[in-house]
Amino acid sequence: MCAPLAEWAQFYSLKLRIHNITAKAALKFGSEVWVLKKREEHRLEAAQMKFLRHLLGITKLDKGKNQCIREKTGSQNIVKEIKQYQEKWLQHIQRMDTNRIPKQALQYKPKGRRHIGRPRKRWRDQCHFEDTRNRNQT
């Protein structure tokens, strides 16, 4: 188990608030339409953990577990936050009128054939939560 931070709590909370306002916002900017691949997920997690380790004064040589560091700071995994953000964005688009451009872009089906090879991952493909909601409603 990880011991919570008792000393310097106010100092760390101020640094954490600055992190949430600036660094996390910069990491999540425009993420509602990203197609996240494993490589980008790992890079986002690494960037978040680098900042949190620096905030706590922990180095990689200390071999602190990521989960422990997140518990000490009370922060959530950045990839989970982005996926929740994308889910909220999808729900927002679904509530829009059909004449709005984001709704039309989501419903757009191109005509013609695809190129040879494996199809590229699309935003709609990663929105597996859309399919589960539609199945529950029927």
Domain ranges (residues) in the chain: 28-111+120-138
Q: How confident is the model at residue 130 (pLDDT cuts 50, 70, 90)?
A: very low
- CA torsion 111→112→115→116, rounded to 10°? 130
Name which of 60, 72, 67 is nearest 16 in CA terms.
72
Is the Cβ–Cβ distance between 106 and 93 less than 8 Å?
Answer: yes
Per residue in 20-30, pLDDT (tens digit) is 888 888 888 88
What predicted TM-score, i.e. pTM, was given to this entire model?
Answer: 0.74
Token readout for 43 is: 């890079």
